[in-house]
Amino acid sequence: MKFGFFDDERREYVINTPETPWPWINYLGNEDFFSLVSNTAGGYSFYKDAKFRRLTRYRYNNVPMDNGGRYFYINEGGTVWSPGWKPVKTPLDNYECRHGLSYTKITGEKDGLEAEVLLFVPLKSWCEVQKMKLTNKSGQKRSFKLFSFQEWCLWNAEDDQNNLQRNLNTGEVEIDGSTLYHKTEYKERRNHYAFYHVNEPVQGFDTDRESFVGLYNEFSGPRAVLEGKPGNSVAHGWSPIASHYFEIELEPGETKEMVFLLGYIENPEDEKWEAKNVINKKPAKAAISRFDSVEKVNAAFDDLRKYWDNLLDGFVLDSGDEKLDRMVNIWNQYQCMVTFNMSRSASFFEVGIGRGMGFRDSNQDLIGFVHQIPERAKERIIDIASTQFEDGGAYHQYQPLTKRGNDAIGGNFNDDPLWLILSTAEYIKETGDYGILDEMVPFDNDMSVAKSHFEHLKLSFYHVVNNLGPHGLPLIGRADWNDCLNLNCFSNNPNESFQTTENKSGGTAESIMIAGLFVVYGKEYSKLCRQIGKSEEANDADKHVDSMVEAIKKHGWDGEWYLRAYDFYGKKVGGNENEEGKIFIESQGWCSMAEVGKEEGMVEKALDSVKEKLDSKYGIVLNNPAFTKYVIEYGEISTYPAGYKENAGIFCHNNPWIMIGETNIGRGERAWEYYKKICPAYLEDISDLHRTEPYVYAQMVAGKDAAKPGEAKNSWLTGTAAWNYYAITRYILGIRPDYDGLVVDPCIPAYWKGFSVKRRLRGTTFNIKVQNTNAVSKGVARMTVDGKEIKGNVVSVFDGKEHDVQVEMG
């Protein structure tokens, strides 16, 4: 069942019923100021950090679902409704939500009165624009009352929820005409405040929640709205809100437009005040002046559209399959931007409090984003590397506001350092900028011990070499990529975290997944060393990589597939001798990508085992058989119900690793089959089962052992976005940058006739046309550039011009 449709021309997903199977959301903002908005206008806004600079409140996991947001209430003769349906939930005659690229437009109509709200964050701005358009579509004069509503958060979202005895005594506001200011804690430790403005004179306002809503009322029926009059309340110590009040009349056919602006301001410490206890409003008024008319807002919206036109012009596919084209050209690239900005911090599944930016996560997210804005990718790489330790280890997370390591989780996830090699290599391949390797980068943000970025990569490589277990395989530490495989934890206390507890000393658990990862990025490190003339360093690296390959072949192979790990006791994990969890996807993916034992047929056997034992209708499950009992030496993985999350769920992030492995042995049809199974555009018809947005990837889909196989959870903020973009563009379509040029090496189903790609790289545009007249899956028989045949399949002309590339497969 569908709940909307794709409008590819406008690059929008159009939702035509408010009651979606789960709140379907969008992200506003591209750099510093962000908002989450659901299809019924739920969500919240923050500056840089959803924990430390949250402007508006949101209540997660609530009943009813998705309560709180940027709401407008219309009271016409006692009939109360909202354009986004919620929170009032009065039935609407017409409803539509259009989620676009960094904007959302919600339209509701009741009895011939239409209310349209366009929401977006203008470029280079710390504010959210809410442009309201009211239209009288009836033949009668309309008189009604309009209330806006935002509930302020007390800045630190964690403190906001757990320190009520303090927070219910701290709320402070100022009212200045049509602008309502939130200045809680401003007089003591903050130099920042928020405001909610409208570009019209108001007939009233409210800033105190209880006065507006009523103590025992809900958002669906606030007292002020039901009574049809504001309280003109001033929050002092209690929960602050911002609500404007208007009495509006519209003649038949008349339209009225208004601009609401939710903004954030920082003042220099010595410019905080206009007068005693009166905040310095000059920066707020300057921000307001940029968007104080409909014309200015329309111009800013135009700029946003052009911004995305340019970003998406870097990779344009014409495959003849509209679902594939819309994912590659629009939605997958868009989700890659969002995951680059958010990591795993703030979605409708991630509350934005406990997690910041992930070391591992952000390095991976970057590979789907680097072609869009390489300079921001470079800045991110340096930020990530700056949280590394001098031994090559790393904080697992850091906060985006401070860019400092987050101690809540700590470190010792032994796969973390290797991902820095991935992101750096992809950045250099995209830009040709080797200068990043010479940048001086601190350790743990301490510039006094800074070394070159190349030295950070070297430490990342040798962190594995220096932390090997008894089989010559990498020690897993607290965990590897699978945070829930806690082989050194041994937790029997329900009040402690699996991922921060290592209560078993002398842990020698080893990871075959990290071993495969090391081979892939160890080879990449060696290749990079040769590119910059460090051949001796490359030779040394090659020896360590070769040793790891032999260790995997000797100790990481179980006859038909790669083992997953060795536990604390040196017993096999993910082998035939295990009763449950006989085979895991991660090591099959990475050892296949590393081509370990390819010549002996090991890669093909492992991938055949994936097909036989892990594949399902909705994607490849993480492990099987699922765990049905708690295995204390395995940790959190065995605590989930069978078929969910890491316990035999379809953890979509790792499915692309298998796709890439399949392309390495030329099986394009199987890679394509796996791609389609988890690609949201192909799942739109089962949205009632899938539940999450049909325009973005989910982290997890319930596996074949679950109660509802195919049901998705945790959408938007997942490495699935970057890895699927990477798999489809670089390995299935086969268009990938390398140090010396643009490689064209497709691996597609033999029945594909071909495709075309426009790819922008290093200021040069390549118009690539691939023809598959020989009906093969892999191989390039002939390639021409501007009509001239070249040797091999690498285009290396970078002159800032446009070039036609013809490719004949065979």
Among residues 239, 240, 258, the alpha carbon closest in space to that of 175 is found at 240
Establish whether 483 is a catalytic residue: yes
Among residues 726, 738, 798, 743, the alpha carbon closest in space to that of 430 is found at 738
Count of C-beta atoms within a 10 Å radius of residue 688: 12
Residue 690, classed as helix, strand or coil, is: helix
User: Is residue 26 within 8 Å of 695, Cβ to Cβ?
Assistant: no
At which residue do the structure tokens 């990569």 appear? 457
Q: Pairing state of beta strands 240-250 and 142-155?
A: antiparallel
Q: How many residues does the chain have?
A: 810
Among residues 389, 386, 387, 488, the alpha carbon closest in space to that of 439 is found at 386
Catalytic annotation, pick one of 483, 567, 705, 745: 483
**How far is Cα of residue 634 from the mean position of the Cα atoms in its chain?**
28
Please give the structure tokens belonging to residue 428.
């250099």
Give dist(CA 756, CA 738) in Å, integer: 20
User: DSSP letters along 223-272, please?
Assistant: HHHHHTS------EES-EEEEEEEEEEE-TT-EEEEEEEEEEEE--GGG-
User: Is residue 329 within 8 Å of 343, Cβ to Cβ?
Assistant: no
Among residues 322, 430, 433, 432, the alpha carbon closest in space to that of 759 is found at 430
Phi, psi angles (nearest 5°) of residue 228: 75, 25
Give dist(CA 780, CA 428) in Å, integer: 25
Among residues 720, 513, 516, the alpha carbon closest in space to that of 637 is found at 513
User: DSSP letters along 385-409, please?
Assistant: HTTB-TTS-BBSEE-TTT--B-TTT
The amino acid occupying position 464 is V
Please give the structure tokens belonging to residue 220.
């669906």
Please give the structure tokens belonging to residue 137.
């579509």
User: Is residue 582 within 8 Å of 624, Cβ to Cβ?
Assistant: yes
Among residues 121, 239, 122, the alpha carbon closest in space to that of 182 is found at 239
- Count of helix runs (H) and strand runs (E) in the chain: 20, 45
The amino acid occupying position 22 is W
Task: Tell me the catalytic residues.
Answer: 483
